C-alpha cells in the first residue's frame, strides 16, 4: 500500500469511530470534512445540501475555506459541477478556465486551482455534494475519488440517522410540519454564532414555527471596480421554504439608512430576489408579542383609540357572510376556528351565513408560553375529520402568518375537498409567510389590537369593539 492509501484508510476508521460516538449530527459532518481535507492534503472540503425547490446548494459543513469564499453566493446546482446532480463525479482540473466553476474569481483569490465533487446520496437520491478543493491544478486519482465517495456515504448515514427526510425531488428536510418535530437538518448544520442576541431570538422563533432558516447565507456583491469587489452585503437570514432573505437592523439608528441603501441596491441588481428589512423597532414589537425582548415588559394604561366600533364590525361581518354564502352555495361548510381569539368573530359570522355549516375548533401552543425553545404543538385537534369537507378556516387576525401556515399545512395533509381562509383582520405589514386569504374583514396597521375576542395578556377580550392598547406615555401605541 502506498503512503496515501494508508493515510486514507486510517482516516476512514477514524470517521467510523466518530459516527459511533455521541457527537451531534453537525459535529459529525464537520469532523468528516475536516479529516477528509487533511487526509487528502487539499486546501479544503465542503459538504453542501441541496435545496431542490430552488436548485441551490447550501454549505452544511466546511473545512479550510475562508468565510469570504463561503459567502460568495448560493451555489447553483445545475451550474456548478452539474454532473454531480446526476449522481456522477465531477472534476475541474483548472478553475481558471472551466465554465462549471460558478465563482471563478473567488476561487482564484482563494487559491483553489482544482475541484472534485461527488454526490451525497440518500436512498438513491442525490441530496447534496461533497467537494474537495486543491491548491494545484491536477487530476484526482481513482483512489481519491473512491475515498470521497465513501466519505459521502458516511455523511449520508449521518443525515439519515439525524432524522432528516428526503423529499421526492431530493431536498433533505424534515417530515411534514405536522410531525411537530424540530427540523433536524436545519440549514447550516455547522454551529451558528450569531452576531447579536436578537438574531438568535429570531432564529428560535422560526424554529418554533418550523420555518427553515440559514444564517448569513451568502454575500451579494454590490459594487466593484474591475475585478475588485468594493462593497458586499450579507443579509442576516435566508428562509429557503419562503425563498425570502431577511435583514435585521441593529440598535444603531445610523446604520439603518445605510442598510436601507444596501437593500435598495440589492433590489436594483437582483429584482428577482425577495428581501425583507426588519427594522429594530418592528422586530422588538414582533418579539414582544410572544413576551420576549425589550418591549415585553411595557406597561399599559388600558385601552386607547377605537379602530372599529361594534356597528362597523357587525356590518363588515354581515358582508363577509354574504360573500361566503354566495361562494359556497349548495355546499356544506366546515368552519374551523383557531382558539381563542376567534370566538366572537366565529359566533357572529355563522349567524349571518345562509348556507349550512358545521363547526369545529383547534388550539395551538404559543411561542413564549414557557415553551419557546420547542416546536409549535396542536393542543386541541379537530373532532370532525376535515377529509372531503369544504373547510373554511376562520381566524381573528393574521399577523406574521406563521400560525396560519402551520395550521394550513396540517389541514391540507388531511385532504379536505377545499380549503380557504377567512380572517377578520389582516395585519399585512408584518407578514413573513405568504398565506392565501380568501376573505378579509379589515386590513389593520402594525399596532397591537384588543377587543372582540383579541386579548392583551388575557385582558380585554370581552370588549364589543376593536381598539389599540395604550402604552404608558404613548397615546394609542403598541404594548406588545
Ligand atoms: P401570527 O402567527 O403572527 O400570524 O399570529 C397570529 C396570532 O397572534 C393571532 O391568532 C392572535 O392570537 C395573535 N395576534 C396577532 N396580532 C394580535 C393583536 O394585535 N392583538 C391580539 N392578538 C394578536
Ligand atoms: Mg388566533
Q: Which ligand is nearest to the CA of 461?
A: 1
Of 196-200, 360-364, 458-462, where does the model show the most confidence? Answer: 360-364
39-to-9, 43, 131, 132, 145 alpha-carbon distances in Å = 9, 11, 14, 11, 13
56, HSE (Cβ side, Cα atoms, 13 Å):
16
Q: Are strands 357-364 and 333-338 parallel, antiparallel or unpaired?
A: parallel
pLDDT at residue 174 in the model: 32
pLDDT at residue 444 in the model: 96
Q: Is this structure's pTM higher than 0.85?
A: no
Q: Which residue has the higher pLDDT, 438 or 69?
A: 438
Q: Decide which of 266, 289, 312 is a domain's last residue.
A: 289
* 353 lies in the same domain as 446: yes
Of 65-74, 152-161, 348-357, where does the model show the most confidence? Answer: 348-357
* 330 lies in the same domain as 257: no
Q: Distance between CA 125 and CA 131 in Å, rounded? A: 17
* 370 lies in the same domain as 436: yes
* 216 lies in the same domain as 159: no
Out of 397, 407, 437, 463, mutate this one to test ligand 1's pocket (max ligand atoms within 8 Å of CB): namely: 397
Q: Distance between CA 393 and CA 415 in Å, rounded? A: 14
* 283 lies in the same domain as 330: no
* 319 lies in the same domain as 464: yes
* Ligand 1 neighbour 211 (Cβ under 6 A): no
Burial 19-41 (b: 16+ CB within 10 A, else e): beeeeebbbbbbbbbbbbbebbe
Across the chain, what does the average pLDDT equal?
A: 84
Which of these ranges, 16-20, 202-206, 300-304, 391-395, has the smallest mean pLDDT?
Answer: 300-304
The three three-digit cell numbers of residue 292, written as one number: 420576549
* 254 lies in the same domain as 354: no
94 among known catalytic residues: no
- How many distinct structural domains can be found in the chain? 3
* 230 lies in the same domain as 154: no
Peptide bond into 84 cis (omega under 30): no
CATH number (domain holding residue 308):
3.40.50.2020
Q: What 3-state DSSP class applies to 434?
A: coil
Which residue range forms the structural domain that includes residue 228? 197-289
* pLDDT tens-digit series, residues 271-316: 878 898 888 878 888 887 777 777 777 777 788 899 999 999 999 9
pLDDT-based confidence at residue 180 (cuts at 50, 70, 90): very low
* Ligand 1 neighbour 336 (Cβ under 6 A): no
Q: What is the DSSP letter of 465?
A: S
Is 102 within 8 Å of 119 (Cβ atoms)? no
CATH number (domain holding residue 21):
3.30.450.40
* pLDDT tens-digit series, residues 60-99: 888 888 877 877 777 889 999 999 999 999 999 999 999 9
* Ligand 1 neighbour 397 (Cβ under 6 A): yes
Question: Which is the catalytic residue, given 236, 399, 426, 477?
Answer: 399
Q: In this model, does residue 167 exceed pLDDT 60?
A: no
* Ligand 1 neighbour 454 (Cβ under 6 A): yes
pLDDT at residue 220 in the model: 78
Q: Ligand 1 centre from 296 Cα, in Å?
A: 15
* 314 lies in the same domain as 373: yes
Q: Decide which of 164, 187, 211 is a domain's last residue.
A: 164
Amino acid at each position: 500500500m502506498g503512503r496515501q492509501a494508508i493515510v486514507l484508510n486510517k482516516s476512514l476508521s477514524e470517521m467510523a469511530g466518530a459516527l459511533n460516538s455521541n457527537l451531534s449530527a453537525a459535529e459529525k459532518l464537520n469532523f468528516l470534512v475536516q479529516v477528509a481535507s487533511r487526509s487528502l492534503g487539499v486546501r479544503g472540503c465542503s459538504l453542501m445540501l441541496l435545496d431542490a425547490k430552488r436548485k441551490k446548494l447550501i454549505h452544511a459543513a466546511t473545512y479550510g475555506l475562508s468565510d469570504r469564499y463561503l459567502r460568495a453566493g448560493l451555489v447553483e446546482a445545475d451550474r456548478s459541477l452539474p454532473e454531480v446532480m446526476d449522481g456522477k463525479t465531477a472534476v475541474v482540473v483548472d478553475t481558471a478556465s472551466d465554465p462549471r466553476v460558478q465563482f471563478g474569481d473567488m476561487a482564484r483569490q482563494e487559491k483553489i486551482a482544482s475541484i472534485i465533487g461527488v454526490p451525497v446520496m440518500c436512498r438513491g437520491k442525490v441530496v447534496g455534494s461533497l467537494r474537495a478543493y486543491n491548491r494545484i491544478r491536477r487530476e484526482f486519482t481513482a483512489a481519491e475519488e473512491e475515498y470521497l465517495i465513501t466519505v459521502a456515504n458516511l455523511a449520508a448515514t449521518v443525515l439519515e440517522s439525524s432524522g432528516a427526510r428526503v423529499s421526492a425531488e431530493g431536498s433533505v428536510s424534515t417530515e411534514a410540519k405536522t410531525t411537530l418535530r424540530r427540523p433536524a437538518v436545519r440549514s447550516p448544520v455547522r454551529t451558528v454564532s450569531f452576531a447579536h442576541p436578537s438574531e438568535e431570538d429570531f432564529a428560535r422563533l422560526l424554529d418554533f414555527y418550523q420555518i427553515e432558516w440559514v444564517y448569513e447565507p451568502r454575500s451579494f456583491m454590490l459594487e466593484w471596480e474591475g475585478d475588485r469587489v468594493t462593497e458586499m452585503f450579507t443579509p442576516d437570514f435566508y428562509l429557503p421554504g419562503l425563498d425570502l432573505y431577511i435583514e435585521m437592523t441593529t440598535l444603531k439608528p445610523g446604520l439603518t439608512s445605510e442598510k436601507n441603501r444596501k437593500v435598495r441596491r440589492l433590489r436594483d441588481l437582483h429584482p428577482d430576489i425577495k428581501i425583507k428589512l426588519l427594522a429594530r423597532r418592528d422586530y422588538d414589537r414582533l418579539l414582544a408579542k410572544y413576551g420576549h425582548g425589550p418591549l415585553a415588559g411595557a406597561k399599559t394604561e388600558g385601552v386607547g383609540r377605537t379602530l372599529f366600533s361594534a356597528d362597523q364590525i357587525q356590518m363588515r361581518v354581515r358582508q363577509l357572510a354574504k360573500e361566503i354564502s354566495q361562494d359556497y352555495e349548495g355546499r356544506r361548510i366546515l368552519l374551523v376556528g383557531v382558539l381563542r381569539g376567534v370566538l366572537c368573530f366565529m359566533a357572529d359570522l355563522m349567524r349571518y351565513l345562509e348556507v349550512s355549516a358545521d363547526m369545529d375548533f383547534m388550539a395551538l401552543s404559543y411561542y413564549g408560553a414557557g415553551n419557546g425553545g420547542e416546536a409549535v404543538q396542536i393542543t386541541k385537534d379537530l373532532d370532525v375529520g376535515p377529509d372531503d369537507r369544504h373547510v373554511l378556516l376562520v381566524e381573528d387576525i393574521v399577523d406574521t402568518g406563521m400560525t396560519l401556515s402551520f395550521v394550513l399545512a396540517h389541514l391540507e395533509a388531511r385532504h379536505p375537498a377545499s380549503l380557504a381562509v377567512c380572517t377578520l383582520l389582516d395585519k399585512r405589514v408584518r407578514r413573513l409567510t405568504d398565506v392565501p386569504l380568501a376573505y378579509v374583514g379589515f386590513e389593520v396597521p402594525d399596532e397591537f389590537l384588543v377587543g372582540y375576542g383579541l386579548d392583551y395578556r388575557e385582558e380585554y377580550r370581552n370588549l364589543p369593539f376593536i381598539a389599540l392598547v395604550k402604552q404608558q406615555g404613548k397615546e394609542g401605541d403598541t404594548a406588545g
